[in-house]
Amino acid sequence: MFRNYILTAVRNLLKYKFYSAINIIGLGIGIASVILIMLFILKIEFIV
């Protein structure tokens, strides 16, 4: 079952390359933003 999900995901990544690239870049930017915000918040909490 899990193998079918992986195969479907890979097929969609290869078939819709541009759309997939936009989604992956957006996900990367979102994760990086959350990490930077958390680091900023933790830094402020330790300073005060």
pLDDT for 11-47, tens place per residue?
A: 999 999 999 999 999 999 999 999 999 999 998 877 7
Interatomic CA distance for residues 33 and 38, integer angstroms: 9
> What pLDDT does residue 47 have?
72
> What pLDDT does residue 46 have?
77
CB 13 within 8 A of CB 20: yes
Q: Where are the domains of the chain?
A: 2-47
